[in-house]
Structure 1
Amino acid sequence: MAVIAVTKERKSGETRVAATPETVKKLVAAGFELVVETGAGLGASIADADYEAAGAKIAKTAKDAIAKADVLFKVRAPEADEVKALKSGAYVVALLNAFNEKATVEALAKQGATAFAMEFVPRITRAQVMDALSSQANLAGYRAVIEGAEAYGKALPMMMTAAGTVAPAKVFIMGVGVAGLQAIATARRLGAVVTATDVRPATKEQVESLGAKFIAVEDEEFANAQTEGGYAKEMSAAYQAKQAELVSGHIAKQDIVITTALIPGRPAPKLVSAAQVASMKSGSVLVDLAIEQGGNVEGAKLGEVAVTKNGVKILGVPNLPARISADSSALYARNLLAFAELFKNKEGAFAPDLEDEILKASLVTHGGAVVHPSLKA
């Protein structure tokens, strides 16, 4: 029986956990043995007793949990002591942040671990249930609106009262991926007037279907601005200049701007300049969802709320899914549950087929080497 270990997340501010009682119960039923480090689920309001009731064993330390594990489930990349505790040939599954956590990736290879990055799971129909980037981005988009509304300090919907009318807030979403679409939907539910922009032409219909207005320079480059994998391409300087001119006047009128643009393996593109920030009204808010990759907003600071001279707040809050850890853990744990099914053969035995298209695409280290094409030196 293969053993899956789940340990506490040790990175600052990380409250999520890689398994829930629901997924533990299903993994046990599927033939796995689960070992959970004590306190691993506390940040997501899950007690050790809940894991035990679902069929897991509780280990006193991360080292104890990992010692005999065939598989280690994590939210973030494992810490150095966790890597050292892995037995050679053990499997590791996590949101490795492989482009930025290169030292950890190399340490996993040196340890002889077979590591998979959940961010590399391909966007194909069969892998949708394993798409951790989407499950977490969905919640991040929701939370971004909540954070923005709290910082804004005024009501979002129009309110007509005997004392007068409260005008609806104007919310502008820049980047319409999973996070952006959820931000649009959430802001609309809260009663704001919502507009959105993205370089991918396919998003126009999606934006309009949610009741928001789409804003973009719709030229030839715009028509070819999406990769086969569904990601946004980095746009030319000329296009960015035209787009900036179009949105500059729009940004100046907005109450809340939420930026979500990311390019895999690259610094986040700058979407909002200091001049555009300066054009906004005092009390306006920008929420930068790309802050952990450098940010989309000039002047955004990781982990801080920057207040400009003209009274505009720029929120550089990292890891928004961790602010709703119960739900984000539940969704991520289900992603891992589905991924774990790939480790079994037709007879139900633990025998991962590394030629499976999903495992192959997400494989980062194996046989003592870094094997993912995009990470090779």
Structure 2
Amino acid sequence: MNIGVRREIEPGERRVAATPESVVQLVATGLDVSVERGAGAAAGYPDGEYAKAGARLVDTLDIERCDVLTHVRPLDAGTVARLAPGTITVGLAAPAANLPVVAALRDAGITSFALELVPRLSRAQSMDALTSQALVAGYRCVLEAAMRLPRFFPLYMTAAGTIPPARVLVLGAGVAGLQAIATAKRLGARVSAYDVRAASADEVASMGATFISLDVDTADGAGGYATELAEDRAARQRELLRPHIEAADVVITTAAIPGKPAPRLVGSDMLRGMRSGSVVIDLAAESGGNVEGSVPGSDIPIPLDGDRGTITLVGMKDVASAMPYDASRLYAKNVSNLLALMTVDGEVVPDFTDEVVGGACLTHDGIVTHQPTLEAMSPSAGTLETGLLR
């Protein structure tokens, strides 16, 4: 059974869906792997390493003949149109933002697996691409902030005087937020954090940061994610966060709600009370932004009140792709582990009664198998009676 690995076509995407390490794993399960030449070059994986791992190198991947197509970025409609009915695809799909492509996958008879949909179960952790890529993103956000902040992160006591540590505030304590906390702590900053989920206080404390308690009800959702706050509660949250934001040298926002635009945590008026030179990093800029005015891929100078200088608002874009070697290493293992779960005697044969396999499935046999996506495509569709849906 042929597994295809192609060069990513999205501009700026440097990751790859398979590395030489993951190819060894796939070949060991009896699968044939075809890798398009140059697929891993931008991530630091040369063609020769894929050949040594047992892959077959091809000048151009013939996706029409692939039994399984692996990918990083969501597929486009043009690619879907070239796939043969019954082809299996494995990769990120962003279904809520790509409903026309989901419809194309359904109509083409493609069995697609979206790594965003992998259930949050202990045995599925090795396949959880959202977690692996969030780890990379949280780390990278702190480095971006440190490079822009015109002062040190750590405390320095010198003969010329004492330099106090930078104060870093992290909003959102999921995987990305916790990694941002850990990285900022390693750099010597004084770190505080806030999240609407009840369990976050202990998690933040375990990283050595100070948890900020606000007089706002918690909002815990399914799978460990937060739920969306009503507007009155969100407004109160923003007002209570204001003094903490104004006291910070660096603010890093990482809050996200699956399938919905990023929650607005910081208004533009809240930024103007910060000190000159401060840096605000919005990791959620590509999904609507936690910070008002952030633009993906742009540094925006924000003038402060009273002619007190400026701060820098950074909208992050392609964050994991900025560290493609290790991001690909983690992502490729997510892909190969899911494929290994579905492989029997050298054939990928998904067992949809398995809650991991069924949960990660987006389309199969001409239907959309993920209920929230189905409802988003057709609100009147209701719930299908099938073991594939969740």
Query: Which TM class, normalised by the smaller chain length?
Result: over 0.9
Q: 2: distance between equivalents of 1:290 and 1:280?
A: 21
The Cα shift of 1:238 comes to 3.1
The Cα shift of 1:97 comes to 0.8
Q: Secondary structure of the residue that 1:249 maps to in structure 2?
A: helix
- Aligned pair in 2 of structure 1 residues 12, 349: CA closer, same or farther (>3 Å)? closer
Q: 1: distance between equivalents of 2:75 and 2:141?
A: 27
The Cα shift of 1:366 comes to 1.3
Q: 2: distance between equivalents of 1:122 and 1:341?
A: 17
Is the CA contact (8 Å cut-off) linking 2:339 and 2:348 kept in structure 1? no
- Aligned pair in 2 of structure 1 residues 190, 336: CA closer, same or farther (>3 Å)? same
User: Taking structure 1 as the reference length, what is the TM-score of the superposition?
Assistant: 0.95
The Cα shift of 1:358 comes to 1.1
Q: Tell me which stretches of 4 or more aligned residues in structure 1 moved more than 6 Å.
A: none
Deviations 1:243-281 (A, max 9, x none): 222210111111100000101111111000111111111
Pick one of 264, 288, 310 that aligns with 1:270: 264
The Cα shift of 1:348 comes to 5.7
Letter of the structure 1 residue corresponding to residue 6 of structure 2: T
Is the CA contact (8 Å cut-off) linking 1:216 and 1:243 kept in structure 2? no
Is the CA contact (8 Å cut-off) linking 2:31 and 2:346 kept in structure 1? no
Q: 1: distance between equivalents of 2:213 and 2:262?
A: 19
Pick one of 347, 350, 375 that aligns with 2:348: 350
The Cα shift of 1:201 comes to 1.0
Letter of the structure 1 residue corresponding to residue 349 of structure 2: A
The Cα shift of 1:67 comes to 2.9
Question: Alpha carbon RMSD of aligned pairs, Å?
Answer: 1.3
Q: How many residues align?
A: 370
Letter of the structure 1 residue corresponding to residue 111 of structure 2: T
Is the CA contact (8 Å cut-off) linking 2:284 and 2:316 kept in structure 1? no
Q: 1: distance between equivalents of 2:346 and 2:123?
A: 19
Equivalent residue, structure 1, for 2:64: 67
- The alignment status of 1:183 with 2:177, answered yes or no, reads no
Is the CA contact (8 Å cut-off) linking 1:180 and 1:260 kept in structure 2? yes
Equivalent residue, structure 1, for 2:307: none
Equivalent residue, structure 2, for 1:142: 139
Pick one of 274, 284, 287 that aligns with 1:280: 274
Letter of the structure 2 residue corresponding to residue 307 of structure 1: P
Equivalent residue, structure 2, for 1:304: 298
Q: 2: distance between equivalents of 1:174 and 1:111?
A: 41
The Cα shift of 1:80 comes to 3.5
Is the CA contact (8 Å cut-off) linking 2:19 and 2:328 kept in structure 1? yes
Is the CA contact (8 Å cut-off) linking 2:29 and 2:343 kept in structure 1? no
State, as a whole percentage, how many aligned pairs show the same letter.
Answer: 45
The Cα shift of 1:41 comes to 0.4
Pick one of 196, 200, 205 that aligns with 1:199: 196
Equivalent residue, structure 1, for 2:90: 93
Letter of the structure 2 residue corresponding to residue 248 of structure 1: R
- The alignment status of 1:165 with 2:145, answered yes or no, reads no
Letter of the structure 2 residue corresponding to residue 258 of structure 1: I
Q: 2: distance between equivalents of 1:348 and 1:92?
A: 17
The Cα shift of 1:112 comes to 1.6
- The alignment status of 1:325 with 2:324, answered yes or no, reads yes
Is the CA contact (8 Å cut-off) linking 1:199 and 1:216 kept in structure 2? no
Letter of the structure 1 residue corresponding to residue 189 of structure 2: A
Equivalent residue, structure 2, for 1:373: 371
